[in-house]
C-alpha cells in the first residue's frame, strides 16, 4: 500500500523565503524546506497496481508551464481545532486547470473524488490544540507575504512516509508541463 499525492515542489529560493516565518507558535511542528510543496491532488492509500494506472493517467496530462506566486498566509481549522498554518498561492487559472486534470486522472483509475474545496497552499506547520491568540498573531504578522514569481515546468507524484519527525515525502515520478 502506498500513500500518494500529486504536487508542485516549491523551488529552493522560494522556500528559503518561508523559513524565517517559522516561529511564534508554541509547539508547532514546522515543516522542513524539502517538504514545501503545493498539493494538486491528495490520493491517499492505494495498492501498487492502482498507483501504476494512476502514473499512466498522470503522464497523459497535457498542460502548459506557468508562473506562480505565493501570497498571504492562513490556517486550517477554527479555535482549538486549528491544525495547520500555511502560505497561500496567488490565484492562477493554469494551476486550477492542472489540479482539475489531476482530479480527472484519479477518477479515471477509480479513485474517489475530492469533496473539499481546492485551496492551494504550502503547509508551514502542523499544530495540535494551539493557543488561538498565537495563531492570530502569526497570521497578522505574516499576512503580507508575497514571493517573487516562479516558473512551474513540472509536477510530481509523491509518496508519503510517516516517521518520528512527521511525514517525509519521496518523489516517485515527475511529469513535464508545456
* Residues noted as catalytic: 37, 121
Q: If residue 168 lies in a helix (H) or strand (E), which one and from where to where?
A: strand 166-176
The string of DSSP codes covering 118-137 is P--EEEEEE-SS--HHHHHH
Select from 88, 122, 123, 100 the least CA-distant residue to 41.
100
Tell me how long the chain is. 178
CA distance 39 to 87: 12
Say which residues have a Cβ less than 8 Å from residue 156's Cβ, sequence separation at least 6. 6, 7, 8, 9, 171, 172, 173, 174, 175
Indicate the pairing of strand 84-89 with strand 29-30: unpaired
Q: What are 173's three cell numbers? A: 515520478
Amino acid at each position: 500500500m502506498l500513500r500518494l499525492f500529486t504536487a508542485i515542489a516549491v523551488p529552493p529560493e522560494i522556500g528559503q523565503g518561508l523559513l524565517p516565518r517559522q516561529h511564534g507558535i508554541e509547539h508547532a511542528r514546522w515543516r522542513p524546506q524539502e517538504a514545501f510543496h503545493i498539493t494538486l491532488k491528495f490520493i491517499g492509500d492505494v495498492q501498487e497496481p492502482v498507483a501504476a494506472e494512476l502514473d499512466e493517467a498522470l503522464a497523459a496530462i497535457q498542460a502548459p508551464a506557468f508562473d506562480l506566486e505565493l501570497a498571504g498566509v492562513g490556517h486550517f481549522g477554527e479555535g482549538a481545532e486549528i491544525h495547520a498554518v500555511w502560505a497561500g498561492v496567488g490565484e492562477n487559472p493554469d494551476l486550477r486547470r492542472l489540479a482539475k486534470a489531476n482530479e480527472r486522472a484519479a477518477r479515471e483509475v477509480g479513485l474517489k473524488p475530492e469533496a473539499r474545496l481546492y485551496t492551494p497552499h504550502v503547509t508551514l506547520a502542523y499544530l495540535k490544540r494551539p493557543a488561538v491568540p498565537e495563531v492570530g498573531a502569526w497570521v497578522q504578522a505574516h499576512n503580507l507575504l508575497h514571493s517573487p514569481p516562479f516558473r512551474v515546468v513540472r509536477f510530481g507524484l509523491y509518496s508519503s512516509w510517516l516517521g518520528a519527525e512527521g511525514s517525509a515525502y519521496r518523489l516517485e515520478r515527475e511529469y513535464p508541463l508545456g
